[in-house]
Amino acid sequence: MSKIESLKQSVINGKRKEVEPLVNELLAEGMNPKKIVEEGLVPAMAVVGERYKNNEIFVPEMLVAARAMKTALAILEPLLVKAGIKPKYKVIIATVEGDLHDIGKNLVAMMLRGADMDVIDLGVNVPADKFVEAIGQHSPQLIALSALLTTTMPAMKNTIDAVRRSPGKNIKIMIGGAPITQQFANEIGADGYSQDAASAVDTALKLLN
């Protein structure tokens, strides 16, 4: 097995301790940090995501893999920054105003990170104006909104309306949460809808490409 393949397997299996030496060795061998991310980490998380989607593993196992990836990134990121390399996509995610549910949002954030996106998590109960402010600050390519209460679905619409009136009006918006449907997404002018955390990455990539 090649070293990059070993790294991939270590991430898949969540063997955090194996990751650090492998990354250092690869760097010592002169491999480009960007290549390590693109050929080691991202494919590893894709495998993990696929296994989860096929009901072969559960989220805790994904989290362990995500942590292993994070260990690698902790070494690689400073190098990437120095070389001016950034993740291709930046995403802002939040649960809307009046709603405190964050498990679903957190899962989606984790999965997007696994797909090598830069995810800025604004937390829960986020008012529309705070959201617009954050967009101005971070200039994301994608916005992801979550709501779990029927009575905070209107807050989702308000947030989208506020974004559409702001300079960031053309940014793609995806939404999700238990009471949300494709029809509601159409009604309030969201660009995408994800039925569950597992398909969030697919939805995001469809919107971004």
Chain residues that interact with other proteins, rule: CB under 8 A: 55-60, 63, 98, 100, 102-103, 106-107, 123-125, 149-151, 153-155, 158, 178-179, 181, 184, 196-197
Q: How far is the CB of 74 from other proteins (least distance, A)?
A: 18
Q: For the CB of residue 63, give the shortest distance to other proteins in the complex, in Å.
A: 6
Which residue's CB is nearer to other proteins, number 51 or number 138? 51
**How many CB atoms are located within 10 Å of the residue 48 CB?**
26
- State the minimum distance, in angstroms, from the CB of residue 113 to other proteins: 14
Closer to other proteins at the Cβ: 24 or 181?
181
CA angle 103, 128, 110 (to 5 degrees): 25
Nearer to other proteins, 26 or 203 (CB): 203
Q: Report residue 144 as tokens.
A: 């992801």
Please say which residue, 139 or 150, places its beta carbon nearer to other proteins: 150
* Cβ neighbours, 10 Å, residue 198: 19
Q: Which residues contact 48 (CB under 8 A, 6 or more apart)?
A: 11, 12, 57, 61, 62, 65, 66, 114
Q: How far is the CB of 150 from other proteins (least distance, A)?
A: 5
Integer angstrom CA distances of residue 109 from 2, 90, 197, 201 = 30, 11, 9, 9
